[in-house]
Structure 1
Protein backbone atom coordinates (compact mmCIF):
# COMPACT_ATOMS: atom_id res chain seq x y z
CA UNK A 1 0.00 0.00 0.00
CA UNK A 2 1.24 3.50 -0.74
CA UNK A 3 -0.04 7.04 -0.49
CA UNK A 4 -1.16 8.26 -3.92
CA UNK A 5 -3.09 11.40 -2.95
CA UNK A 6 -3.23 13.74 0.00
CA UNK A 7 -5.01 17.05 0.29
CA UNK A 8 -4.63 20.46 1.81
CA UNK A 9 -7.47 22.92 2.27
CA UNK A 10 -6.94 26.25 0.52
CA UNK A 11 -9.07 29.37 0.63
CA UNK A 12 -8.30 30.29 -2.99
CA UNK A 13 -7.44 27.56 -5.51
CA UNK A 14 -6.02 29.92 -8.14
CA UNK A 15 -3.74 31.66 -5.64
CA UNK A 16 -2.75 28.26 -4.26
CA UNK A 17 -1.89 26.97 -7.73
CA UNK A 18 0.29 30.02 -8.33
CA UNK A 19 2.07 29.67 -4.97
CA UNK A 20 2.58 25.92 -5.10
CA UNK A 21 3.85 25.95 -8.70
CA UNK A 22 5.63 29.27 -9.23
CA UNK A 23 6.96 29.78 -5.71
CA UNK A 24 7.45 26.27 -4.30
CA UNK A 25 8.19 24.64 -7.65
CA UNK A 26 5.56 21.91 -7.83
CA UNK A 27 4.04 20.96 -11.20
CA UNK A 28 0.31 21.01 -11.99
CA UNK A 29 -0.86 17.44 -12.59
CA UNK A 30 -4.67 17.58 -12.79
CA UNK A 31 -7.08 20.44 -13.36
CA UNK A 32 -10.62 19.21 -13.98
CA UNK A 33 -13.81 21.18 -13.46
CA UNK A 34 -17.22 19.58 -13.07
CA UNK A 35 -20.47 20.92 -11.66
CA UNK A 36 -18.86 23.89 -9.93
CA UNK A 37 -16.05 21.86 -8.39
CA UNK A 38 -12.40 21.95 -9.44
CA UNK A 39 -10.13 18.91 -8.96
CA UNK A 40 -6.69 20.55 -8.85
CA UNK A 41 -3.53 18.63 -7.98
CA UNK A 42 0.20 19.28 -8.02
CA UNK A 43 3.17 16.91 -7.82
CA UNK A 44 6.88 17.14 -7.20
CA UNK A 45 8.90 17.84 -10.36
CA UNK A 46 11.24 15.08 -9.15
CA UNK A 47 8.46 12.47 -9.17
CA UNK A 48 5.78 13.31 -11.73
CA UNK A 49 4.08 9.96 -11.14
CA UNK A 50 4.32 10.27 -7.37
CA UNK A 51 1.97 11.39 -4.62
CA UNK A 52 -0.43 14.12 -5.71
CA UNK A 53 -1.34 17.05 -3.48
CA UNK A 54 -4.98 18.07 -3.93
CA UNK A 55 -5.51 21.82 -3.47
CA UNK A 56 -8.97 21.41 -1.99
CA UNK A 57 -11.33 24.36 -1.50
CA UNK A 58 -12.00 25.15 2.15
CA UNK A 59 -15.56 26.32 1.50
CA UNK A 60 -17.04 23.74 3.89
CA UNK A 61 -17.55 25.25 7.40
CA UNK A 62 -15.88 22.23 9.01
CA UNK A 63 -12.83 22.62 6.75
CA UNK A 64 -12.70 26.34 7.52
CA UNK A 65 -12.79 25.71 11.27
CA UNK A 66 -10.06 23.06 11.01
CA UNK A 67 -7.85 25.23 8.80
CA UNK A 68 -8.29 28.30 11.01
CA UNK A 69 -7.74 26.32 14.21
CA UNK A 70 -4.47 24.67 13.25
CA UNK A 71 -3.16 27.91 11.70
CA UNK A 72 -3.90 29.85 14.89
CA UNK A 73 -2.12 27.18 16.94
CA UNK A 74 0.96 27.35 14.66
CA UNK A 75 0.49 23.76 13.51
CA UNK A 76 1.71 23.03 9.97
CA UNK A 77 -0.94 21.52 7.71
CA UNK A 78 1.69 19.34 6.01
CA UNK A 79 5.43 18.86 5.65
CA UNK A 80 7.63 18.77 2.55
CA UNK A 81 11.10 17.29 2.37
CA UNK A 82 13.92 19.40 0.94
CA UNK A 83 17.60 18.72 0.33
CA UNK A 84 18.76 21.69 2.43
CA UNK A 85 16.29 23.54 4.67
CA UNK A 86 18.56 26.56 5.11
CA UNK A 87 19.14 26.97 1.35
CA UNK A 88 15.42 26.54 0.59
CA UNK A 89 14.59 29.06 3.32
CA UNK A 90 16.93 31.62 1.72
CA UNK A 91 15.54 30.93 -1.78
CA UNK A 92 11.92 31.32 -0.67
CA UNK A 93 12.59 34.29 1.59
CA UNK A 94 14.20 36.08 -1.39
CA UNK A 95 10.87 35.55 -3.23
CA UNK A 96 8.96 37.24 -0.40
CA UNK A 97 7.68 34.11 1.35
CA UNK A 98 6.87 34.75 5.01
CA UNK A 99 8.20 32.29 7.57
CA UNK A 100 6.85 31.77 11.06
CA UNK A 101 9.86 29.64 12.02
CA UNK A 102 13.37 30.13 10.68
CA UNK A 103 15.54 27.04 10.06
CA UNK A 104 15.86 25.20 13.35
CA UNK A 105 17.60 21.93 14.10
CA UNK A 106 15.07 19.98 16.18
CA UNK A 107 17.09 16.77 16.58
CA UNK A 108 20.45 15.70 15.22
CA UNK A 109 20.33 16.07 11.43
CA UNK A 110 16.70 17.22 11.22
CA UNK A 111 16.27 20.90 10.38
CA UNK A 112 12.82 22.43 9.91
CA UNK A 113 11.36 25.79 8.92
CA UNK A 114 7.70 26.83 8.69
CA UNK A 115 6.20 29.10 6.04
CA UNK A 116 2.83 30.70 5.32
CA UNK A 117 1.40 29.47 1.99
CA UNK A 118 -0.83 32.59 1.59
CA UNK A 119 -3.88 30.30 1.32
CA UNK A 120 -4.61 29.72 5.01
CA UNK A 121 -1.92 27.19 5.89
CA UNK A 122 1.42 26.85 7.56
CA UNK A 123 3.75 24.48 5.74
CA UNK A 124 6.79 22.82 7.26
CA UNK A 125 9.86 22.15 5.15
CA UNK A 126 12.48 19.81 6.50
CA UNK A 127 15.75 18.12 5.84
CA UNK A 128 16.04 14.63 7.26
CA UNK A 129 19.15 12.47 7.16
CA UNK A 130 18.96 9.55 4.74
Structure 2
Protein backbone atom coordinates (compact mmCIF):
# COMPACT_ATOMS: atom_id res chain seq x y z
CA UNK A 1 0.00 0.00 0.00
CA UNK A 2 1.32 3.44 -0.91
CA UNK A 3 0.08 6.59 0.75
CA UNK A 4 -0.48 9.65 -1.42
CA UNK A 5 -0.13 13.03 0.19
CA UNK A 6 -2.00 16.17 -0.90
CA UNK A 7 1.07 17.52 -2.72
CA UNK A 8 1.19 14.40 -4.90
CA UNK A 9 4.34 12.93 -3.37
CA UNK A 10 4.16 9.23 -2.61
CA UNK A 11 5.67 7.65 0.48
CA UNK A 12 6.08 4.02 1.40
CA UNK A 13 3.72 2.29 3.79
CA UNK A 14 6.51 1.30 6.18
CA UNK A 15 5.07 0.76 9.69
CA UNK A 16 5.47 3.58 12.20
CA UNK A 17 7.75 1.68 14.61
CA UNK A 18 10.19 0.89 11.79
CA UNK A 19 10.22 4.53 10.70
CA UNK A 20 10.75 5.55 14.33
CA UNK A 21 13.73 3.18 14.58
CA UNK A 22 15.23 4.65 11.38
CA UNK A 23 14.66 8.15 12.79
CA UNK A 24 16.34 7.29 16.08
CA UNK A 25 19.32 5.82 14.23
CA UNK A 26 19.45 8.89 11.97
CA UNK A 27 19.47 11.34 14.87
CA UNK A 28 22.18 9.39 16.71
CA UNK A 29 24.30 9.18 13.56
CA UNK A 30 23.79 12.90 12.91
CA UNK A 31 25.06 13.72 16.40
CA UNK A 32 28.06 11.46 15.81
CA UNK A 33 28.66 13.11 12.42
CA UNK A 34 28.73 16.56 13.99
CA UNK A 35 31.08 15.32 16.72
CA UNK A 36 33.49 13.83 14.14
CA UNK A 37 33.43 16.95 11.95
CA UNK A 38 34.13 19.26 14.90
CA UNK A 39 36.81 16.95 16.29
CA UNK A 40 38.80 16.35 13.11
CA UNK A 41 37.93 19.27 10.74
CA UNK A 42 40.06 19.43 7.57
CA UNK A 43 39.09 16.84 4.95
CA UNK A 44 36.38 15.45 7.21
CA UNK A 45 34.10 18.41 6.44
CA UNK A 46 33.89 17.91 2.64
CA UNK A 47 33.80 14.13 3.12
CA UNK A 48 30.78 14.48 5.41
CA UNK A 49 29.04 16.84 2.97
CA UNK A 50 29.68 14.49 0.04
CA UNK A 51 28.44 11.50 2.05
CA UNK A 52 25.24 13.32 2.97
CA UNK A 53 24.61 14.34 -0.66
CA UNK A 54 25.50 11.02 -2.31
CA UNK A 55 22.14 9.24 -1.91
CA UNK A 56 20.39 12.30 -3.35
CA UNK A 57 22.45 12.49 -6.56
CA UNK A 58 20.16 10.28 -8.70
CA UNK A 59 17.34 12.76 -8.16
CA UNK A 60 19.34 15.22 -10.27
CA UNK A 61 18.47 13.05 -13.28
CA UNK A 62 15.16 14.88 -13.29
CA UNK A 63 11.64 14.13 -12.22
CA UNK A 64 9.00 12.45 -14.30
CA UNK A 65 6.14 13.68 -12.18
CA UNK A 66 5.39 14.43 -8.55
CA UNK A 67 7.60 12.09 -6.53
CA UNK A 68 8.67 10.00 -9.54
CA UNK A 69 12.22 9.39 -10.75
CA UNK A 70 12.91 8.61 -14.39
CA UNK A 71 13.39 4.85 -14.86
CA UNK A 72 17.03 5.35 -15.89
CA UNK A 73 17.83 6.83 -12.45
CA UNK A 74 16.16 4.05 -10.42
CA UNK A 75 19.10 1.56 -10.38
CA UNK A 76 21.54 4.25 -9.20
CA UNK A 77 19.06 5.51 -6.61
CA UNK A 78 18.43 2.03 -5.24
CA UNK A 79 22.15 1.24 -5.11
CA UNK A 80 23.05 4.47 -3.31
CA UNK A 81 20.20 4.04 -0.82
CA UNK A 82 21.18 0.60 0.48
CA UNK A 83 22.42 0.95 4.08
CA UNK A 84 24.82 -2.00 3.84
CA UNK A 85 27.21 -0.16 1.47
CA UNK A 86 27.98 2.87 3.72
CA UNK A 87 28.07 0.57 6.74
CA UNK A 88 30.70 -1.55 4.94
CA UNK A 89 32.69 1.63 4.18
CA UNK A 90 32.64 2.50 7.88
CA UNK A 91 33.73 -1.00 8.95
CA UNK A 92 36.53 -1.27 6.37
CA UNK A 93 38.00 2.10 7.22
CA UNK A 94 37.77 1.38 10.95
CA UNK A 95 40.52 -1.19 10.46
CA UNK A 96 42.73 0.80 8.08
CA UNK A 97 45.30 3.43 8.99
CA UNK A 98 47.65 3.84 11.90
CA UNK A 99 45.94 6.78 13.59
CA UNK A 100 42.38 8.12 13.86
CA UNK A 101 43.32 11.03 11.62
CA UNK A 102 44.10 8.56 8.80
CA UNK A 103 40.59 7.15 8.69
CA UNK A 104 38.48 10.08 9.91
CA UNK A 105 37.49 11.44 6.48
CA UNK A 106 36.44 8.15 4.80
CA UNK A 107 34.78 6.89 7.98
CA UNK A 108 32.78 10.11 8.32
CA UNK A 109 31.92 9.93 4.61
CA UNK A 110 30.32 6.51 5.18
CA UNK A 111 28.63 7.65 8.36
CA UNK A 112 27.12 10.74 6.69
CA UNK A 113 25.92 8.56 3.83
CA UNK A 114 24.25 6.18 6.30
CA UNK A 115 22.76 9.15 8.18
CA UNK A 116 21.14 10.48 5.01
CA UNK A 117 19.68 7.04 4.25
CA UNK A 118 18.35 6.60 7.80
CA UNK A 119 16.71 10.02 7.87
CA UNK A 120 15.08 9.56 4.47
CA UNK A 121 13.75 6.14 5.53
CA UNK A 122 12.38 7.76 8.70
CA UNK A 123 10.49 10.25 6.53
CA UNK A 124 9.01 7.39 4.52
CA UNK A 125 11.23 7.58 1.46
CA UNK A 126 13.06 4.44 0.48
CA UNK A 127 13.91 2.34 -2.52
CA UNK A 128 12.13 2.92 -5.82
CA UNK A 129 10.16 0.62 -8.08
CA UNK A 130 11.09 0.23 -11.74
CA UNK A 131 8.62 2.97 -12.76
CA UNK A 132 10.35 5.49 -10.45
CA UNK A 133 7.70 5.54 -7.70
CA UNK A 134 8.14 4.51 -4.08
CA UNK A 135 8.06 0.78 -3.39
TM-score w.r.t. structure 2 length?
Answer: 0.25
Pair member with larger Rg:
2
Normalized per residue, the structure richer in helix is 2
Higher relative contact order (CA 8 A, sep 6+): 2
TM-score (normalised: structure 1): 0.26
Q: Which has the higher strand share?
A: 1
